[in-house]
A and B are shown apart, each in its own frame.
Chain A
Amino acid sequence: MISEDKNHHLKRKNKSSTQLIEMAEVKLLGVGGSSYSRRVEWALKIKGVKYEFTEEDLQSKSPLLLESNPVHKKIPVLIHNCKAICESMVILEYIDETFEGPSILPQDPYERAIARFWAKFLDGKCLEAVGKALWSKFGEEEEKSKQEAYEVLKIVDNELKDKKFIGGDNIGFVDVAANYIPFWLEIVEEATGVVLVTSEKFPHLCAWRDEYLNCSEVKENLPDRDTMLGFFKAKVLAATVAK
Chain B
Amino acid sequence: MAEVKVYGIFAGPFNRRVELALKLKGVEYEYIEEDRSNKSAELVKYNPIYKQVPVLVHNGKPICESLIILEYIDETWQAIAPLLPKDPYQRAMAHFLARLIDEKFVMAKYKVCYGKGEEKEKGRGETCEVLKYLDNELQDKIFFGGDNIGFVDIVASYVALWFGAIQEAIGVELLTKQKFPKLSKWIDEFLSCRIIMENLPPRETLVPLYKAQFEAATQKASS
What residues of A have a CB within 8 angstroms of the CB of B91 in the complex?
93-94, 97
A83-137: which residues lie under 8 A (CB-CB) from chain B? 83, 85-87, 90-91, 93-94, 97-98, 109-110, 112-114, 116-117, 120-121, 125
Do the beta carbons of B99 and A90 come within 8 Å of each other?
A: yes
Do the beta carbons of B92 and A85 come within 8 Å of each other?
A: yes
**Complex partner residue of A85 from B63, B96, B130, CB under 8 angstroms:** B96
Do the beta carbons of B96 and A121 come within 8 Å of each other?
A: no
What residues of B have a CB within 8 angstroms of the CB of A215 in the complex?
none
Known A85-B96, A90-B92, A94-B91: A113·B68 in contact at CB below 8 Å: yes
**Complex partner residue of B68 from A72, A90, A120, CB under 8 angstroms:** A120
Kindly state the separation between the CA atoms of A87 and B97 in the bound complex, as whole angstroms: 11
Do the beta carbons of A125 and B49 come within 8 Å of each other?
A: yes
**Complex partner residue of B96 from A90, A109, A116, CB under 8 angstroms:** A90
Do the beta carbons of A112 and B88 come within 8 Å of each other?
A: no
What residues of A have a CB within 8 angstroms of the CB of B69 in the complex?
113
**Complex partner residue of A109 from B72, B99, B130, B133, CB under 8 angstroms:** B72
Cβ-based interface call for A64 (8 A): no
Kindly state the separation between the CA atoms of A116 and B64 in the bound complex, as whole angstroms: 10
- Contact residues of A: prevailing secondary structure: helix
Closest to B126 in A: A71
Kindly state the separation between the CA atoms of A71 and B50 in the bound complex, as whole angstroms: 29
B80-91 CB mask vs A (1 if < 8 Å, else 0) is: 000000001101
Cβ-based interface call for B168 (8 A): no
**Complex partner residue of A117 from B63, B99, B133, CB under 8 angstroms:** B63
What residues of A have a CB within 8 angstroms of the CB of B72 in the complex?
109-110, 112-113
Do the beta carbons of B89 and A109 come within 8 Å of each other?
A: no
B100-121 CB mask vs A (1 if < 8 Å, else 0) is: 1000100000000000000000
Q: How many residues of A contact B (CB 8 A)?
A: 24
Q: Distance in Å from the Cβ of A97 to the closest Cβ of chain B?
A: 4
Do the beta carbons of B92 and A155 come within 8 Å of each other?
A: no
What residues of A have a CB within 8 angstroms of the CB of B95 in the complex?
87, 90, 93
**Complex partner residue of B71 from A71, A83, A116, CB under 8 angstroms:** A116
Cβ-based interface call for B75 (8 A): yes
Kindly state the separation between the CA atoms of A113 and B50 in the bound complex, as whole angstroms: 16
Q: Distance in Å from the Cβ of A176 to the closest Cβ of chain B?
A: 16
Do the beta carbons of B92 and A110 come within 8 Å of each other?
A: no
Do the beta carbons of A113 and B88 come within 8 Å of each other?
A: no
Do the beta carbons of B129 and A71 come within 8 Å of each other?
A: yes
Do the beta carbons of A112 and B96 come within 8 Å of each other?
A: no
Do the beta carbons of A94 and B92 come within 8 Å of each other?
A: yes
Cβ-based interface call for B76 (8 A): yes
Pairs across A and B, CB under 8 Å, 14 listed: A71-B104, A80-B89, A85-B89, A86-B96, A87-B96, A90-B95, A91-B92, A93-B95, A94-B92, A97-B88, A98-B88, A110-B63, A116-B68, A125-B49
A binding-site residues for B, Cβ under 8 Å = 71-72, 80, 83, 85-87, 90-91, 93-94, 97-98, 109-110, 112-114, 116-117, 120-121, 125, 155
Give the top 5 A-B pairs by smallest Cβ distance, nearest first. A109-B75, A97-B88, A113-B72, A94-B92, A90-B95
